[in-house]
Amino acid sequence: AQRVTQPEKLLSVFKGAPVELKCNYSYSGSPELFWYVQYSRQRLQLLLRHISRESIKGFTADLNKGETSFHLKKPFAQEEDSAMYYCALSASGNTGKLIFGQGTTLQVKP
Amino acid sequence: DTGVSQDPRHKITKRGQNVTFRCDPISEHNRLYWYRQTLGQGPEFLTYFQNEAQLEKSRLLSDRFSAERPKGSFSTLEIQRTEQGDSAMYLCAIVGYEQYFGPGTRLTVT
């Protein structure tokens, strides 16, 4: 079964501290992994995707197929990073539908 | 330009009533998706269209739900005989470089 697990509902850190939001997936094929972010009162938007291997707003994520993980990391959290973060998987076969985790609320305290 | 509007943004209805939501992509996009998001959960896939053809439906989409995309542009999602369990945010998404989400329609069934 295809599944995405985000074990933490809430992650609270102080400004300037490192951040790691965990994501594990279950899928037997070659998945495409994404991180989506939803700021307060805004729509869900793409933060980054594993195939582009880019850093957006200081965030990076590496796909680890051995551990079936795609953790999101940032070395120094900013207050404006406070938001809801969703990890998502798109299965090969390319219907394009996304399977989302439950989401993690990141709270960055001043 | 990539964008999606959804109407209405909020809908309160009594149990047993029918409701219809609309999704309008700003420009032409072949694929259009519907998701449902309940409180504390990530979005869950409901159905998707390739042009006007509905190609996949989730088991979440009971017989009371129907979706259409008559001309391959806008789409509607209708729920008949609403139940309290239908209360959720209904999201529409289109695929460009990324899966681009609309602001959602929040349905409350009383």
Q: What pLDDT was estimated at residue A94? A: 64
Judge whether B1 and B26 are in contact, CB under 8 Å. Answer: yes
Distance to chain A for B88, nearest Cα, Å: 15
Neighbour-count burial for A80-93, b at 16+ CB within 10 Å, e otherwise: ebbbebbbbbbbee
- Give yes or no for residue A103 having a pLDDT over 60: yes
Identify the closest residue of chain A to B49 by CA–CA distance: A95
Judged by CB atoms closer than 8 Å, whether chains meet at A88 and B42 is answered as yes
Q: What pLDDT was estimated at residue A52? A: 77
For residue range B24-67, list pLDDT tens digits in order.
Answer: 998 777 899 999 999 989 999 999 999 999 999 998 888 999 99
A96 neighbourhood in chain B, CB within 8 Å: 31, 33, 48, 95, 99
- What rounded mean pLDDT belongs to chain B? 92
Judge whether A86 and B24 are in contact, CB under 8 Å. Answer: no
For residue range A43-91, list pLDDT tens digits in order.
Answer: 999 999 887 777 889 999 988 989 999 999 999 999 999 999 999 998 7
Judged by CB atoms closer than 8 Å, whether chains meet at A97 and B33 is answered as yes
B102 neighbourhood in chain A, CB within 8 Å: 43
Distance CA A82, CA A110 (A): 11
Distance CA B78, CA A96 (A): 23
**What's the distance, Cα to Cα, between the start and end of chain B in Å?**
38
Which one, of B19, B35, B15, B70, lies nearest residue A88 by Cα? B35
